[in-house]
Amino acid sequence: MPAFGLYSHIRNNRIRSGLLLAGLFLLVYVLTYAAALVVEAMAYEDTLDGYLRGAFGGFLVAFPWVTLGTAVWLFIGWKFHQGMIALVTGSHAVTREEEPKLYNLLENLCISRGLPMPRLSIMETDALNAFATGLNEKQYAITVTRGLKEALSDAEMEAVLAHELTHIRNGDVRLMVIAVIIAGVVSFFGELLFRGLTRMSWGSPPGGSTRPSSSSTSSSSGDRKGGGGAAAIAILIAVALIVLSWILSIVIRFALSRSREYLADAGAVELTKNPDAMIGALLKISGRGELAGVPSGIMEMCVDNPRSGFSDLFATHPSIDDRIDALVRYAGGRRPEQVETVPHIARRGDADPSSSGAAPPHGPWG
């Protein structure tokens, strides 16, 4: 459904989360059928139709076990993804005593909107970035890098924390975590199948003994002689299904709307009433946000996921310049180079601005 505002965006995120979970099981079932097709082609000599029907029978036998295994994988990801992310990124939780200024900034934002306080973590790296994780109120966490903390002013850091807090409030974080889990499942099983195919012995034509069934006994000797060709075609179909599942898992991640970053920037301005702070933070982060050794799934949850050139077509984030332009046009923000040239804005007690030619403030937060 099209999103026309914050609440429709939140509604769409909930719908997408359900569809992604359903898509997870669908892709795993496709991979299971592909695996059954490979086993049939390598074990028996039959026609292509026989291979396809035999693979479906094998799929039905494996169906309950695959469903159980996928549910267990999903449970592990749902329950322990925070620990896995901390292990990969090297981040660690901090308390008010360890980081009083940072902790107070986040706490004040939560109090202002009546939101539960997420866990605060720091990643020891000079890169400038931040991300939020979690699937429910007990798991939500915001991680900032040491470099970001040192480089940003208090107002800019508050804007970044408000940006991540908006992702949590909008349901973006839950959606991204589910997408990462899906990509992990498909990549794991897809790689297992590909490794199995590459390690098989291809010295003799595919297809083993004739299938001990009525279909094989009634087939002609010519059909059995063509079993090797039918087996090769069956394996090619299986490979195509594996590749299709992998591509669909990528498409799922690319289908996540870039508008979530614009809305998170707008939410940061709503919370802080300071669009210039968000613009200043984005300018400092730009080009310095790459987290070395961190998987792409986590980078997709960050404030900025640097992409350039052709790869920008598949980027999960709009460019920093586009985000700043949106803040300037719709939130009354100003680029640093505009600050010196913007006319003085009259305040209470000042002279009449009309006499000096000053323009009134603009934008929803002006």
User: What are the residue numbers of the active site?
Assistant: 164
Q: How far apart are CA 214 and CA 147, in angstroms?
A: 70
Cβ–Cβ under 8 Å, residues 275 and 365:
yes
Question: E-assigned strands of 117-202?
Answer: 119-123, 130-133, 141-145
* Burial class of 336 by CB neighbour count within 10 A (0 to 12, 13 to 18, 19+): exposed
- Contact present, 282 and 324 (Cβ < 8 Å): yes
How far apart, in whole angstroms, are the C-alpha atoms of residue 225 and residue 247?
A: 35
242: closest CA among 205, 209, 194, 285? 194
3-state secondary structure at position 43 = helix
Rounded Cα–Cα distance for residues 8 and 222 (Å): 61
Residues 6+ apart with CB under 8 A from 244: 30
CA pair distance 53, 154, nearest whole angstrom? 65
Backbone angles phi, psi at 144, to 5 degrees: -120, 150
Work out the angle at residue 317's Cα, subtended by the Cα atoms of residues 184 and 308, and round it to the nearest 5 degrees.
Answer: 100
Packing angle of the helix pair 259-272, 275-285 (nearest 10 deg): 130
DSSP string, 9-33: HHHHHHHHHHHHHHHHHHHHHHHHH
Which CA distances in Å does 70 have to 32, 67, 78, 179, 360?
A: 11, 5, 12, 14, 58
Contact of 179 with 20, CB cutoff 8 Å: yes
